Amino acid sequence: MASFFITPCVHTSDALCQLPAEAEHDSLVHRMRRRIIAVALSLLLPSLAVASALDDVVHDADAFSDVLLQMQAEQDGQTDDLLREEGDEMFPSTGQSSSTSRQSTLEEDPDFLTARVDGVPVIFRDIPRDAWFAPYVRDVVGEGIVSGYREANGALMGLFGPADSLTIEQLAKIAVQVARVDLSACGTTLKNDAADGTWSEQYIRCAEHRGWAVYADGSVDIGRPARRAEVVATLLQALGVKTEQRTGGIFTDVDSSVEFAAAIEMAARAGVISGDSDARGSPLGTFRPTDPVNRAEVAKIVTMALQVYGL
């Protein structure tokens, strides 16, 4: 091999002279490539082994995660089935429980009176909480005697109308509610034709049936404002109070000629009414028996009458 490489070539351009050198070069390159590949493989094999192991770990983790998810889904399904099976016993849905919850807690409006009407909290936007008549309105609403104004469809408006004059037909309803009269026990006869077909017909019929003086003959105008004397007399009759003979000396404007004078004096002695007073609260000694009475005043009279006489 040594003599072959040192044999001179005369013609350097001849391909025969170039072959031995090129072959040697190719052999060296080939050997070099093998060494490089060997070195590279020696370096890469550990990394490839690690990468392969990591791939296995990741694959196993994914598989384990899938198993966990499947187990969780099965457990959730079993829980849902259990709740569906026991739901009626554990958490009864009757509608009554929610109503009971609403009735147990009444959220007061900070500015206006809040009271329950038919079990529903109602904010009366025309009754400030600090108004002198607010406690009396709360009492009569709580007793189911009044409910405030309603829409044509019966929906509550949240208005009481404290300054509005009480009408004769409204008085009939209040008196019937105070007396706890069974409307079905008032017969079918109606004397007052003006009440026929109106919302107050059943109350007017009961007032006539019970013989309350204001309604007895069926001639009263049911749409006019009720007089103060009429309110007192009707409420006392509704509560079954027997009036005594008038003695005089309580109100300067209530003498023997005043209708229902005896009822007025009796209510005054019992503390149901107190008559007029000045700005300082001092009594004026008058009652104004023929004047109209507003709904706020009626709320107080009804509350006081129930406290004194009850049923």
Q: How far apart are CA 174 and CA 202, in angstroms?
A: 12
Q: Among 139, 200, 205, which residue's Cα sits nearest to residue 167? A: 200
Give 241's DSSP letter.
P
Inter-CA distances, 211 with 114, 175, 229, Å: 36, 12, 17
Domain boundaries, the chain: 2-90, 108-162, 164-308
- CB 256 within 8 Å of CB 246: yes
Bridge partner list, 128: 112
Give residue 14's pLDDT: 39
Q: How far apart are CA 63 and CA 6, in angstroms?
A: 68
Radius of gyration of the chain (CA): 50
Name the helix (H) or strand (E) containing 50. helix 15-90
Q: How far apart are CA 231 and CA 263, in angstroms?
A: 10
Please state the pTM of the whole predicted model: 0.66
Contacts of 221 (CB under 8 A, 6+ apart): 168, 194
| pLDDT tens for each residue of the chain, 311 residues long | 444 333 344 443 333 334 444 444 455 555 566 666 655 555 555 554 445 544 554 455 555 455 455 655 555 544 444 333 333 322 223 333 333 333 446 688 999 999 999 889 999 999 999 999 999 999 999 999 999 999 989 999 999 999 999 999 999 999 999 999 999 999 999 999 999 999 999 999 999 999 999 999 999 999 999 999 999 999 999 999 998 877 778 999 999 899 999 999 999 999 999 999 999 999 999 999 999 999 999 999 999 999 999 87
Contacts of 310 (CB under 8 A, 6+ apart): 239
